[in-house]
Structure 1
Amino acid sequence: MTTQPVSAGATTDPVQEVIAFEGEQVAALDGQKIKDLFTRKKNVKPVQIERSRAWVDAQPSVKGDEQWACLAQALYFEARGESVRGQFAVAEVILNRVDSAKFPNTPCKVIHQGTGRKFACQFTFTCDGHPETIREQAAYARVGKIAKMMLDGAPRDLTDNATYYHTKAVNPRWARTFARTTTIGVHHFYRPHVRVSQN
């Protein structure tokens, strides 16, 4: 139930650190990702949602493609015990990573980044050595609906652009290097510090 930071080169000069960070962001962008970012924002219709269990459960059953399946599975294994609001927040983190140049550009690639190295992956369920067996069908149906809503453009306004989270049960060292944006249920959410240049 923890996301891990992706390491970047550290420097002691704040100006050089900002320049290096911006350079990494630009260098990591490819033409397709830039196109996707602009077309997604233009073509997405606002989705009217209510972040309550009763409302989500009342929505029709959904199915989707591979990206939907990856996101639904991640929400099930990472946050099925959370409130619906907490499940939306975890989905935000994953999709915020998809939109960031520092991470892969699809939900499946984001979720499985680092998988195969025990406890060195980005999302704990993909590398904890336990089989991924979905036993709670009602919980899976619920997170499947949330995954579909988020992929269809539901607002991402819960975590203030967070790209990391961890449960309150742990205190990872990496969390000290990021800004905590909010706490929802049993998860703390984080994003990199934003430095404002001084003139």
Structure 2
Amino acid sequence: MRSFVLAACVAVTLASPGAAIAETALGRLFQRDQSTQTSTSRQRSGGFLFFGRKPAKTKQMSYSTTWLDAQPAAAGDANFECLAQALYFEARGEAVKGQFAVAEVILNRVKSAQFPNSVCGVVKQGTGRLNQCQFSYNCDGRTEVIGERQAYARVAKVARAVLDGVQEELTDGATYYHTTAVRPRWSRVFTNTAQIGVHLFYRDERYRTASSE
């Protein structure tokens, strides 16, 4: 609409004295208007690259509780809630960087053809089959209760940041992890990509995600 009004102004001005000067000035204004519209359109379309809202520019992002505590309370859809709960039960005792790494594994699984294509699908895969699910808290036979509200608030912020694409890549496309206290059989076959805190991360070379290519 704004471009239409500017075009109309150009037409009226050209019928008056000093038309050449007015034409030049209004022409420049019209070009700036078109440029702004194009830039805005590109910014909006760019947001579709992320799982959630487009991330803000965060120069001071760090893997620390200080940074997390400075972020606004996190909220989101069902996938956000599934990711936040998985981080709470799987990694709330881990350092912040380790929590980000576990969240990254879950999103890597979403991108892999080997796993379901949604966060909730990945987190809940195998639920109901005793000791056969992907995340043990979903099939250990116990009712899970979120009792540490501060810990949950923090991992929820981790979930929000990861879904918004804020963090850097940490695990080189890993889709598996385990703690240093155990050594599952698959760890002898898959590629070890990182160790962060008490977690070791692995990639199955048969199903490399986009981030590891």
- Range into which the TM-score falls when normalised by the shorter chain: 0.7 to 0.9
Asked whether 1:63 is paired with 2:72, we answer: no
Asked whether 1:169 is paired with 2:169, we answer: no
Residues 137-182 of structure 1 deviation map (CA, whole Å, 9 limit, x = unaligned)? 0000000001011111123411111000011111101111100001
Which secondary structure state, in structure 1, belongs to the residue aligned with residue 205 of structure 2?
Answer: coil
CA contact (8 A) 2:74 2:160 kept: yes
Give the corresponding residue for 2:199.
187
The TM-score with structure 2 as length reference comes to: 0.69
Which amino acid letter does the alignment assign opposite residue 187 of structure 2?
A
Which structure carries more helix by proportion?
Answer: 2
- Cα distance in structure 2, aligned partners of 1:45 and 1:59: 12
CA contact (8 A) 2:161 2:167 kept: no
Measure how far apart 1:40 and its partner are.
2.0
- Aligned mate of 1:52, from 64, 67, 71: 64
- Cα distance in structure 1, aligned partners of 2:121 and 2:64: 29
- Aligned mate of 1:81, from 83, 87, 93: 93
Which amino acid letter does the alignment assign opposite residue 147 of structure 1?
A
- Cα distance in structure 2, aligned partners of 1:168 and 1:46: 35
**Which residues in structure 2 correspond to 1:20-169 (within 5 Å)?**
39-40=48-49, 45=55, 48=58, 49-169=61-181
Measure how far apart 1:194 and its partner are.
6.8
- Cα distance in structure 2, aligned partners of 1:40 and 1:124: 31
Measure how far apart 1:53 and its partner are.
1.1
- Cα distance in structure 1, aligned partners of 2:56 and 2:77: 21
What count of residue pairs does the alignment treat as equivalent? 157
Give the corresponding residue for 1:22.
none
CA contact (8 A) 2:172 2:193 kept: yes
Which amino acid letter does the alignment assign opposite residue 184 of structure 2?
P
Identity of aligned residues (%): 58
| Shift >6 Å, 4+ stretches | none
Unaligned ranges ≥5, structure 2:
1-47, 208-213
Aligned-CA RMSD value: 2.0
The TM-score with structure 1 as length reference comes to: 0.74
- Cα distance in structure 2, aligned partners of 1:70 and 1:194: 26
Measure how far apart 1:185 and its partner are.
0.8
Structure 1 residues 114 and 47: alpha-carbon distance in aligned structure 2, compared to 1, 3 A threshold: farther
